[in-house]
Amino acid sequence: MTIPLGSDHPLDVLYDVALLDLDGVVYIGPNAVPGVPEALGRARHAGMQIAFVTNNAARPPAVVASHLTELGIVAESAEVITSAQAAARYLAEHLPAGAKVLVVGTTGLYEALTERGLVPVALASDDVMAVVQGYSPATDWHMLAEGAVAIGHGKPWVATNGDPTVPSPRGPLPGNGSLVAALRYATGREPVITGKPDPAMHRETILRTGASNPLVVGDRLDTDIEGANAVGCASLLVFSGVTRPKDVLFIPAHLRPTYFGSDLAALLHSHVGVTRDEDGWHCGTWHVFATETGLLLSHDGSAEDDGWDALRVLAVASWVSADREEEAERASGVIGAADSSSAAELSRLGLS
């Protein structure tokens, strides 16, 4: 089934709470994504509630909220939901009160465990009842060694997320998933992962925000968007982080977003829908036609636009074609350009 990429109303009016990923969506490294403070201010003014949802377990909510405020983004600690909180809730539901949990991570996990009545520790003693691992740039061999000892003794192992990388101004850097892989390799065990895309993360967010019609916003297909689809939430994919526009064209149904845009300014606008008739697929002034050699993109030249309608119609057409043939590997030789101007538009969108 194709997810419709269209809304007649701005998204900040259509949805009551925006569940925003942080890294790659709100900020990259120490800096806000350009235009984000203004966009979120306008969304709040329109009545949308904002929640900041991150797989990064390193910092507690108060520290994250303070950082956001320094960037010009109004935020309170209660609006920040972390994967450390989701992991702590999971552990509290499976362990007795006061249980000792070995932490392979940093402050965010210590605070989240304490909030749930568990006791965070740093050494793999005999009375440790579980291991929890979350991203921390301070993680070193000694932390991993303590984790390996406890996991090797059969203790339950929970990881806050499996993201292989975190975005930075210098490019992707090793994330929690890369550090989890070290312990997986050392112990031969698999952790329970409670962060996105696991439903536990969005369950935690909805419980804390009271959202009735939430919109998940993220820059990753395999965490943010997959997690939204897993719990039946609408989603907005933004291209300010790790995902590139061409990445959305040939993806399975569980990774497909409801909407997409360049950045969080997409919250403030309606989104042109894609329609289908006997000639092919249409979105605004862009058209895609099925031919014997694949899908053909053209533009009627009647008006200038920002190019996102072209990506919307290409995405939906490719999804329909992939579903019909029960095949997702159709990236090679499928999309063609009707003329040099179409090729130029694809290049400008980063799709070529």
Active site residues: 21, 23
317 vs 311: CA distance, rounded Å: 10
Query: Quick check: 132 and 103 in contact, CB under 8 A?
Result: yes
State residue 188 phi and psi, 5-degree precision.
Answer: 75, 15
CA angle 225–6–11, rounded 5-degree value: 70
* Chain centroid, CA 105 distance in Å: 21
Give the closest residue to 167 by CA, choosing from 33, 349, 329, 67: 33
Helix (H) or strand (E) holding 14: helix 11-14
Looking at residue 274, what DSSP letter applies?
P
Amino acid identity of residue 285, one-letter, is T
76 vs 88: CA distance, rounded Å: 21
Looking at residue 222, what DSSP letter applies?
I
Query: Quick check: 201 and 233 in contact, CB under 8 A?
Result: no
Query: Quick check: 130 and 91 in contact, CB under 8 A?
Result: yes
State residue 132 phi and psi, 5-degree precision.
Answer: -125, 135
